[in-house]
Amino acid sequence: MDPAQIAVLIPMFGIFALFVVPGIIGLIAIRLWFRSRDRLYQTIDAAIDKGAPPEVINQLVEMTRSKEDKEEKKPVIKHLSEGALFLAAGVALLLFFFNGGPTGTIVPGVFGTLFGLIKFGIAAVAAKRSNYQGE
């Protein structure tokens, strides 16, 4: 093979290894996860059809819930964490656009910063209304 042809193939294999292989692995993982969930739901259906006791069915249904579904997040903590995330991203975008970033709009930075401040305000109001005392 000619060295020029090999030089063209190197970036192609790099792109393939970077995007296609993880995509295929991700699709396989998603498919396996959905298959396991489907089997769990089939088990629940079979238990209901065979007349299993309600305690057993409740345990099976409880297995379908994730940790986030089981524990309720306090609205104050939720809004504070989202506000901190948006405020940090907005300030980072503002600094990027003001200090040598591409010239043009600063709207994403302003939007992120304002949205973060709004979320902090919502958290403050929620804390005041619920007499939030911390964890």
Mean pLDDT of 39-63: 88
Mean pLDDT of 81-95: 87
Question: What is the token pair recorded at 131?
Answer: 């007499």
Confidence class for position 26, pLDDT limits 50, 70, 90: very high
Residue 94 near residue 110 (C-beta atoms within 8 A) = yes
What pLDDT shows up at residue 32?
Answer: 95
Confidence class for position 132, pLDDT limits 50, 70, 90: low
More confident residue, 65 or 70: 65
Q: What phi and psi, each to the nearest 5 degrees, are found at residue 40?
A: -65, -45
Mean pLDDT computed over every residue of the chain: 83
Confidence class for position 30, pLDDT limits 50, 70, 90: very high
Q: Does the reported pTM lie above 0.75?
A: no
Residue 125 near residue 102 (C-beta atoms within 8 A) = no
What pLDDT shows up at residue 95?
Answer: 84
Mean pLDDT of 25-47: 92
With a pLDDT cut of 90, the percent of the chain lying above it is: 15
What pLDDT shows up at residue 70?
Answer: 60
Mean pLDDT of 39-51: 90
Confidence class for position 4, pLDDT limits 50, 70, 90: confident
